[in-house]
Amino acid sequence: MKRIGFICFEILLTGYCALSAQTVLKEKLEEMPAVEQVKPLEAVDFAEKYIAYFVQPLDHAHPERGTFVQRVFVFHEGFDRPTVIVTEGYGAAYAEAPKYREELSRLYKTNLIVVEHRYFLESAPRPKDWRYLTAKNSADDLHAVRTAFNAIYPGKWIATGISKGGQTALLYRAFYPDDVDISVPYVTPLNYSVEDGRHEPFIRSVSTADDRRKVQDFQLEILKRRTRLQPLFDQYCEDRRLTFPVPLNEVYDYCVLEYSFAVWQWGIPTDEIPSSNTPDQAMFDHWMKQCDPTNFDREGYFKPFFVQAARELGYYGYDTRPFEKYLTLKSAEGWVNRLMLPDELKGITFDKTLCDKVTDFLKRADPKMIFLYGGSDPWSASGVCQWLNTEDKKNLHVFVQQGGSHKTRIGTMPEEQQREIRALIRQWLDE
């Protein structure tokens, strides 16, 4: 009986300690001056999980111009553990899933903070004044969150993100070099223009000639079948209530041009590409799976991204020469401004100041950073892997997975590279 009573006491004590820890963390979050609400969430791999709604200035340089609420997810492992901050480049709804866990937080059992990017999903101001959607304001958002958590999580910090999120991690480090100890941007571009110009030559030389021919033949076949596939395409857009500032036959063309980028970006095996004798519906279904026109809906999810791309982040262009005979487009030049921007921003011009700042930072400084790229990913054409010399750097490292795609992660790398990356991060965390 004494043993049973002792076990019951242990169970009660454990439950009390867990409840106390939860109360402590929740109270700490609620005490943050910028936090207006804390919402508990179900957690599977973490002790606790919350959404903290941060009130952020629209313009950090001019707080009097108004505020918006930014959604920040907090995953608690322990007050004495390192912390990973995910510098999301888009929305962060995925972080609500109970089983979500980011790669680095899993490898090193860290706390995890996911910061939804301003102007996306629940972190969008109303109305959206596009003047304040800048890389500097985004970095200031992250700095404000990082500063707020300084007393709660005093250990080492790692900033990381994927694609535009990796770009955000890079920009954050350039603006605030001392905010975090380590940065790990995945598949991160650093574009020089709104239509950068390095991606098209990359696509013309990636992989093998046979594989590139399969991709181009499919694009040509879709164009040749326009009279039969355009009605399917139009209906597809109508069913989804997509809106475009150009005729649907031009959107059709853009989706064809996008196909080659999508195949290499996502590592679609070329033996999955339908042959020329494939029925119309199967051809169409494969095409839509890779190049859904929803991505070109200028009132859709990606609208804030394209505002940033046109203003200072840059993007890529299309090589129309192999398809000119079949395109209804006269030219794809200037397509981002023409197709994706709201009317009030049509005259926006690209400002290269940001990419110059980041380029200078990486050449001059030696931060603890690890860049990961996929060798067949077109985004690597504008990645720092193309020009950054790390031979004279002690801390800055670039890893490229040969044949890798935009899905490249530490866990997809060859074993030897995985061990090297993990050992580097472990060394930095232990310093």
Q: What is the pLDDT of residues 180-223, one digit of tens each?
A: 999 999 999 999 999 999 999 999 999 999 999 999 999 999 99
Q: What's the pLDDT band for 45 if we cut at 50, 70, 90?
A: very high
Please compute the mean of the pLDDT values over residues 142-159 and round it to a whole number: 97
Encode the chain in three state secondary structure: CHHHHHHHHHHHHHHHHHHHHHHHHHHHHHCCCCEEEEEECCCCCCCEEEEEEEEEECCCCCHHHCEEEEEEEEEECCCCCCEEEEECCCCCHHHHCCCCCCHHHHHHCCEEEEECCCCCHHHCCCCCCHHHCCHHHHHHHHHHHHHHCCCCCCCCEEEEEECHHHHHHHHHHHHCCCCCCEEEEECCECCCCCCCCCHHHHHHHCCCHHHHHHHHHHHHHHHHCHHHHHHHHHHHHHHCCCCCCCCHHHHHHHHHHHHHHHHHHHCCCHHHCCCCCCCHHHHHHHHHHHCCHHHHCCCCCCHHHHHHHHHHHCCCCCCCHHHCCCCCCCCCCCHHHHHHCCHHHCCCCCCCHHHHHHHHHHHHCCCCEEEEEECCCHHHHHEHHHCCCCCCCCCEEEEEECCCCCCCCHHHCCHHHHHHHHHHHHHHHHC
Whole-prediction pTM: 0.93
pLDDT at 10 over 60: no
CA–CA dist 331, 39 (Å, integer):
50
Determine which of 343-347, 359-363, 408-412 has the lowest per-residue pLDDT on average.
343-347
| Cβ atoms of 291 and 262 closer than 8 Å | yes
**Residue 17: what pLDDT?**
45
Average pLDDT over residues 125-149: 97
- CA 27 to each of CA 8, 24, 37, 81, 146: distance values in angstroms, whole numbers, following the listed order: 28, 5, 11, 19, 18
The single residue listed with the structure tokens 């004495």 is 80
Cα→Cα distances 80→105, 155, 276, 358, Å: 14, 7, 60, 32
d(CA 340, CA 330): 18
| pLDDT tens readout for residues 222-257 | 999 999 999 999 999 999 999 999 999 999 999 999
- Which of 287, 347, 339 lies closest to 317 in space, CA to CA? 339
